[in-house]
């Protein structure tokens, strides 16, 4: 628009606001991500597992034990990075707590295991984690009004166990990924 060009000295708004560089960086980032989606065997494995869980008969129960561990630990990490341990237990991912716990044991991810168990104790107490999401919500609300798990989340973010590397090694070791 002529009035905008007059105000900005002829520059487009992203250039005038200094956001053009961020836009270009984002384009490059997503270009690299799309390429990885095509070439990374671990991303292919993840897409395959998500497809099995949500689109195929039997869902999570139809996964092999190794697939369940890989899926559960991956989901744990994704949820905690996205919204913390509270989000993990609040969402459907919390129903896979036991498999995530077993996966962390098998991976030797002792720090992540300690944090997961502490978050579970803070939110739910000493009993088992309910499989049903509504029951989990009730248990969380019953056990704790507003749990403050920021310190656990922050420690998890430090990646002391390097879960991604451990998961990749595990996937190769058990044959979930063959061409890595």
pLDDT in tens, 47-60: 999 999 999 999 99
The number of domains in the chain is 1
pTM summary value: 0.79
Residue 99 burial (C-beta neighbours within 10 Å; 0-12, 13-18, 19+)? buried
Is pLDDT above 90 for 145? no
C-alpha span between 107 and 163 (Å, rounded): 8
Binning pLDDT at 50, 70 and 90, where does residue 105 land?
A: very high
Binning pLDDT at 50, 70 and 90, where does residue 26 land?
A: low
C-alpha span between 108 and 63 (Å, rounded): 22
Two structure tokens written together for 147:
């749990």
User: Does any domain span residue 166?
Assistant: yes
User: Does any domain span residue 113?
Assistant: yes
At 178 the three-state DSSP class reads coil
User: Does any domain span residue 46?
Assistant: no
Contact of 93 with 50, CB cutoff 8 Å: no
pLDDT at position 107 is: 98
């Amino acid at each position: 628009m002529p009035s905008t060009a007059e105000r900005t000295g002829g520059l487009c708004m992203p250039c005038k606001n200094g956001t053009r560089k961020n836009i270009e960086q984002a384009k490059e980032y997503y270009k690299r991500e799309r390429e990885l989606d095509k070439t990374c065997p671990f991303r292919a494995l993840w897409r395959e597992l998500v497809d099995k869980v949500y689109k195929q008969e039997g869902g999570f129960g139809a996964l092999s034990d190794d697939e369940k561990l890989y899926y559960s630990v991956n989901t744990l990490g994704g949820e905690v990075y996205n919204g913390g341990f509270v989000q993990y237990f609040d969402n459907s991912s919390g129903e896979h707590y036991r498999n995530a716990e077993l996966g962390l044991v098998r991976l030797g991810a002792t720090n992540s295991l300690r944090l997961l168990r502490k978050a579970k104790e803070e939110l739910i107490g000493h009993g088992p984690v309910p499989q049903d999401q509504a029951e989990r919500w009730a248990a969380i609300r019953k056990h704790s009004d507003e749990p403050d798990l920021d310190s656990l989340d922050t420690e998890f973010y430090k990646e002391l166990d390097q879960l991604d590397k451990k998961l990749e090694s595990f996937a190769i070791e058990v044959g979930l990924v063959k061409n890595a």
